């Protein structure tokens, strides 16, 4: 894995779109630098807080999603302790 300078890392947000024929949620590749509009519109979205890690923000259950950066399926990690759902892209890692 290459070195990542997190001090220069900026959190980005990606809108979650519809499911495809395989039941996997597509995500917008268009990064947003604020989640204000998405939260206001109550739209599901991913918060990329590290280069290959995304926290899910959604009222509805979303079991799987494609990576906004490489468009491949991500792994879902349930963080029960913090009550967070994290998606990890092993392809981008």
Name the residue with tokens 């029960």.
Answer: 80
Q: Should residue 89 be labelled a site residue for Zn ion when binding is judged by CB under 5 A?
A: yes
Per CB under 5 A, which of residues 32..61 are in contact with Zn ion?
none
Q: Should residue 70 be labelled a site residue for Zn ion when binding is judged by CB under 5 A?
A: yes
Spatial neighbors of 83 by CB under 8 A, at least 6 apart, are none
Q: Should residue 19 be labelled a site residue for Zn ion when binding is judged by CB under 5 A?
A: no
Question: 49: buried, middle or exposed (CB in 10 Å: 19+, 13-18, 0-12)?
Answer: middle
Tokens at 32, concatenated? 């947003």
Q: Should residue 92 be labelled a site residue for Zn ion when binding is judged by CB under 5 A?
A: yes
Using CB under 5 A, pick the residue from 16, 44, 69, 87 that binds Zn ion: 69
Q: Which residues bind Zn ion (CB under 5 A)?
A: 67, 69-70, 89, 91-92
């Amino acid at each position: 894995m290459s070195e990542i300078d997190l001090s220069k890392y900026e959190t980005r947000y990606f809108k979650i779109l519809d499911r495809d024929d395989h039941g996997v949620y597509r995500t917008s590749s268009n990064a947003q630098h604020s989640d204000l509009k998405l939260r206001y519109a109550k739209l599901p979205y991913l918060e990329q807080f590290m280069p290959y890690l995304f926290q899910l923000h959604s009222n509805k259950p979303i079991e799987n999603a494609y990576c906004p950066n490489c468009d491949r399926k991500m792994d879902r990690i349930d963080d029960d302790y913090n009550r967070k759902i994290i998606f990890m892209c092993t392809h981008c890692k």
